[in-house]
Structure 1
Amino acid sequence: MSEAKRLAALKALDYVEDGMIVGVGTGSTVAYFIDALASWKDQIAGAVSSSEQSTARLKSHGIDVIDLNAAGPLSLYVDGADECD
């Protein structure tokens, strides 16, 4: 399952664009995504986070965390889906 989550997180990078503010959720898949997003830290405007855990991880990679109220509409929000019917 970990490898599938890692691959899903890497695939989500395909939707990141220069200058974008990226929204991120919380959980193991998002952690993989944030780690991969670090390679974009100089190309994106920053990220909006849904939790303190994700905020800390973003900051540890030098990614600016932007308040949702200041960000405006998000073009991309990445979160996990551990279970669905």
Structure 2
Amino acid sequence: MYVIVVYDVAVERVNKIKKFLRQYLHWVQNSVFEGEVTMAEFERIKAGLKDIVDENEDSVVIYKLRSMPKRETIGVEKNPIEDII
């Protein structure tokens, strides 16, 4: 499945979230990661985020898609993923 993870977390947890998500997904721009994952990886991502996030203060949204969506960027492409094999 293809997932997009968008987060808004307190400053002290931003680097922890970024470091964790880079193990599974591609960084797209500030607070946005995306990529193809297995169901097992998806469950690990959710569990890992729950360990890091303060559910009373932070917000993480995960979009699950069947396949990679077509993307169109207006402005600067922060980290193009089309070149990744």
Normalized per residue, the structure richer in helix is: 1
Fold match, TM over 0.5? no
Normalized per residue, the structure richer in strand is: 2
Q: TM-score, normalised by structure 2?
A: 0.28
Higher relative contact order by CA 8 Å / sep ≥ 6: 1 or 2? Answer: 2
Q: TM-score, normalised by structure 1?
A: 0.28
